[in-house]
Structure 1
């Protein structure tokens, strides 16, 4: 493609982006609410505009549908409408669309945007902004980001894409960039984004301190505030709203869907896009491998939480154990799933089977319901989703906070679902359940490990209850982690 085509392509993008952004972030003449991730990035943009800072190269990986593009569009809107940045100084480039034009050199497009289309800004060192979406479709996006960062001090750049961006990052880009994972919504974000409910900003910190340090004072205050000022304002039963959240509320894109069938289809579509597009980035995939991947995902979604036998999976799928391992690893790289290892010495963890969970309970629910399995009994179905949700929130807590603790499971029966192993050697058992849930499993794990306290996360109670050394934490409260 010659330079004239590239210039015209970029000029057309600059012309059409304002309407694309408006259509995406304004619904019924009201702008969408903001996630905390937006405010974090906005603060970095403000620092870039007002101070001399090197925090101007960001990578936003994450599962499809979690709202990365919406955050970028909200930043675009902030720049144009509140910071009065000329829209021609902001490039939003979707590489999923650009790749349809044929092979492309990303650096050439960005050089043209900076030095040709915005020559005056380039010469005068005026701020420019580049937002690259679906970055995984450029094999050298990280190298391009490094060059832009090094050569153009007046450019603030964000790359978003699937979690495969983590694999493509080089040491050079890692030294220069800041990574911010974007995750499925917790219950607090769901209530705020969908219903405009004001949730105490420190709620996640309160839950974290309660779990890790047995400090429940602030959490009890936050929970009481939410019950009085949020839950009581709903005409509907808040428990039913939570039931909808765990099944249909993990992805902001779901909010625009009018019925559950449409939301289920959205979850299935995202699953299919991961298999059809993202998988190719981390694994050599042929048609048979892709079919095996679909079968494996269904097995993961339909089973009760538990360990997976590679031998059994290999036999059922008629593939080798090595291929099973490669597929599971690839799905983890896309962040569709994650694993939890058995508690014990590292040699034991490497020998024993792992438990696998979906990062989004919504995606698991979509596959589960599409198979007709969800009609068996509500208790069993919701119990499966609840354990998945608790596991995923703990996993996200660890990654978002960059905390040095482990999440494990116990192989012995009648034990807690999860064990938190802190850096100072404390073991915190956590049991997850829906419906009537006792404390026997947690007590057994506490006795095994000499734990000072344990936690039962369930809908058995509507408020935090403490019985001796066992804390009953309501699902609604824990889901705001």
Structure 2
């Protein structure tokens, strides 16, 4: 491996033009910063955004190293390669001794035994600020050695939020005007219709005509690189079948028994334990998320029927073409992603009726949210009762129904239910 050439390429590399994300990437003296998230959501560009800020703040580029380990020249790298790359960088650089050393190591999970090397650098090079990225939600707990736990600060990167989507579309809208129904609200609503179906993967902005092809390639990479190769899945066909069934079940409750029966009806067998394993792989790759039913007993909660959500509406529509017909479920998926992106602890509630989301904070449910495309004579009673039941259970005075475009206030027994358009709620 030509270590010097790799370092030289970095030194000659010019940072691309960047459309900034709303995310900040803090770097702390006593912590390793990790950036986790699915493929192609902008983890690399977040690193570049931070490097640009460091340079603007006067940090010498001689003190900054960035390496992407999915570069074909670095295939099958191990901890020895990490050591050789760092030494080659130190030898080729005129370090500013008065400044810290910044190491940006992109897609680190593909390097064999990387965690032991990171631990040693963390312990021995006190001037080093280490920033790692990876396409695994378990980058922290599964792979960072126990000696580093408690010394890691993690940031999750998801596809663009609606606010970021508007910025990337060149729309510098005034939030106050949107929320108060001003002229900007018409523009926001127009772009929300687009966002609902296309999702927030950044590459779609550059190649809108290739949306389905690009998103299908992302899905294939998740399945083959992040799941099949990573977890050594032997039966690729089965995991592809299960993934397609989960896509069709997005924003709905799933039963392991029902999934097993569906797989069987397609001519394959898949036991409950295999389904549980595969679902955990999907979650680690940031393809799907599982939401538990709220129960006061932890044991009951774990054994409850889960609901599933997908990382991106555009991906969902591209892989499962029929899903776009159900706008209500697309809206629900979008609300989940907003809550998950805000690091909310989310459950669903089911009694006689269902409430789509209850948000827990410090051992207490603080919010109940119902999602529906519209309130009409056929569903109004059911949607309101499901929300009211959750409000009553958790002693909440206010509840929220999110719709595509309706706005009103409902009062029942001194409890208030606010009905809001989702596109307004996403910008609050």
Q: TM-score, normalised by structure 1?
A: 0.77
Aligned pairs for 1:137-156 within 5 A: 137-156=110-129
- Counterpart of 1:174 in structure 2 is 149
Distance 2:148 2:427 in 1: 33
Pick one of 3, 6, 10 that aligns with 1:9: 6
CA-to-aligned-CA distance 1:147-183 (integer Å, 9 cap, x gap): 3333223333311121242321223333333211112
Q: Does 1:133 align with 2:106?
A: yes
Task: Provide closer, same or farther for how the CA distance between residues 324 and 459 of structure 1 changes in structure 2, counting only shifts above 3 A.
Answer: same
Which of these residues, 268, 274, 278, is aligned with residue 323 of structure 1?
274
Distance 1:362 1:170, change over 3 A: farther
Q: Where do 5+ consecutive residues of structure 1 fail to align?
A: 27-31, 45-52, 201-220, 400-405
Query: Is 1:358–2:310 an aligned residue pair?
Result: yes
Deviates more, 1:63-72 or 1:105-114: 105-114
User: 1:116 deviation in Å?
Assistant: 1.5
Q: 1:285 aligns with which of 233, 252, 255?
A: 233
Post-superposition offset of 1:99 = 6.0
Match of residue 407, structure 1, among 346, 354, 363: 346
Q: 1:239 aligned to 2:189?
A: yes
Q: Contact 2:196 / 2:330 at 8 angstroms: preserved in 1? A: yes
TM-score by length of 2: 0.86
CA contact (8 A) 2:251 2:333 kept: yes
Question: For residues 128 and 417 of structure 1, do their structure 2 counterparts lie closer, same or farther at Cα, with a shift above 3 Å needed?
Answer: same
Match of 2:253 in 1: 307
The question of whether the paired residues in 1 share the 8 Å contact of 2:62 and 2:95 is answered with: no
Given that 1:361 and 1:388 are in contact with CA atoms closer than 8 Å, whether structure 2 keeps it comes out as yes
> What's the C-alpha RMSD, in Å, of the aligned pairs?
2.7
Report the CA distance shift for 1:455/1:320 in structure 2 as closer, same or farther (over 3 A). same
Equivalent pairs counted in the alignment come to 409
Q: What's 2:19 paired with? A: 33
| Structure 2 CA distance for aligned equivalents of residues 83 and 421 of structure 1 | 39
Alpha-carbon shift at residue 78 of structure 1 (Å): 3.3
Aligned partner of residue 168 in structure 1, secondary structure: coil
Is 1:248 paired with 2:198?
Answer: yes
Q: Tell me the CA shift for residue 125 of structure 1.
A: 4.8
> Quick one: distance in 2 between partners of 1:419 and 1:134?
34
Aligned partners of 1:148 and 1:98: how far apart in 2?
A: 25
Q: Is 1:398 matched with 2:343?
A: yes
1:418 deviation in Å?
1.8
Q: Post-superposition shift, 1:476?
A: 0.3
The answer on 1:264 being equivalent to 2:180 is: no
Deviations 1:85-107 (A, max 9, x none): 44444322110115655444243
Q: 1:64-213 alignment to 2 at 5 Å? A: 64-80=39-55, 82-97=56-71, 100-104=74-78, 105-118=80-93, 120-121=94-95, 124-163=97-136, 164-166=138-140, 167-197=142-172
Residues 277, 78 of structure 1: alpha-carbon distance in 2 compared, 3 angstrom cutoff? same
2-structure distance, mates of 1:91, 1:422:
39
Higher share of residues assigned helix: 1
2:347 match: secondary structure? strand
Q: C-alpha distance in 1, partners of 2:231/2:7?
A: 32
* Pairwise CA distance, 1:414: 3.4
Structure 1 228/321 Cα, relative in aligned 2: closer, same or farther at 3 Å? same
Per the TM alignment, residue 244 of structure 1 is displaced from its structure 2 partner at its CA by 1.1
Tell me if structure 1 keeps the 8 A contact 2:65–2:103.
yes
Gaps of 5+ in 2: 264-268
How far did 1:36 drift?
A: 2.5
Q: Retained in 2: the 8 A contact 1:417–1:431?
A: yes
CA shift in 2, pair 1:325/1:239, >3 Å: same
Contact 2:115 2:144 (C-alpha < 8 Å) held by counterparts: yes
Deviation at 1:304, TM superposition (A): 5.7
Say which SS state the counterpart of residue 7 (structure 1) adopts.
helix
Would the aligned equivalents of 2:38 and 2:287 in 1 still touch at CA under 8 Å?
A: yes
User: Is the 8 Å Cα contact of residues 7 and 89 (structure 2) preserved in structure 1?
Assistant: no
Equivalent position of 2:292 in the other structure: 341
